[in-house]
Chain A
């Protein structure tokens, strides 16, 4: 089993994810440059955080046209697991693989801190290792992490049990305190918090391990 990390110009959490998956969890991991369309031999894909294409136009707006994402859509349709973290989440919404959009934080400031989260759903196997309504703490680091969707979309993701993670104390104005969502099928997860920054005992927090371990479960 191996994990692929899509790397765009401006990605800056790609090596962090690799350290977490390969260095901490022992999962074979390789980088996939955004111009490649070859995803053969890859069992799960991570879209890492960062500032793909300098966040030009809108976060993730230009990355969504990268050649690798054509292959990614097929990968998702075939049931492959995809995790988008922070900028990766933004790309997944721009791509239409997840509903809603991430916009500027309500208070305009870039927020970088540990934050308390509640695991809202165990419908997908991303969180099947956690107890229901488990509280975890993960770092966030974003300026445009305010999840926005209209009322109809919110009802749809609620009805589909697609809300994966919610903030205890909403830091950025996100609709319904949403920090992470899954697609209806459950194989795509997008989240603003960074699980890869909570996988190494030296960093004092291991709350992200189970999420990354579930890439290959």
Chain B
């Protein structure tokens, strides 16, 4: 088995209002930073998962992202599985 590491990003769909992002945008002005046009707050989730191969890892991460880590009604997700830097013997 190989241990894969996935960095999953969950973001609100563009059509969904993000009041926390809007409030943060206002705070950015108070911090004195001009020109912030958009702040959208999402989640970054680190998952390490054992799988026999990359395809199996991708399949499981996709299911995890779609059915647990995000709600497809309001959120989109992406992930990268490029950091396959943890490996152990079968």
Contact = CB atoms under 8 A, between A and B. Distances in A.
A149 B17 CA distance: 12
Nearest to B70: A58
Q: Is the interface of B mostly helix, strand, loop or mixed?
A: loop
Interface residues of A, number: 18
Interface stretch (A98-106, A116-124, A193-201): A98-106
Interface residues of B, number: 11
Interface string B8-23: 0000000111011001
B15, B69, B73 — most chain A CB neighbours (10 Å)? B73
B71 interface: yes
B73 A148 contact: yes
Contacts of A173: 17, 19
B68 interface: yes
15 contacts: A57-B69, A58-B71, A61-B71, A93-B73, A101-B71, A101-B73, A103-B17, A104-B19, A106-B17, A106-B19, A108-B19, A148-B16, A148-B73, A150-B15, A173-B19
Given A94-B71, A150-B15, 8 more contacts: A57-B69, A104-B19, A106-B17, A106-B19, A107-B19, A108-B23, A148-B16, A173-B19
Interface of A: 57-58, 61, 65, 93-94, 100-101, 103-108, 148-150, 173
Interface of B: 15-17, 19-20, 23, 68-69, 71, 73-74
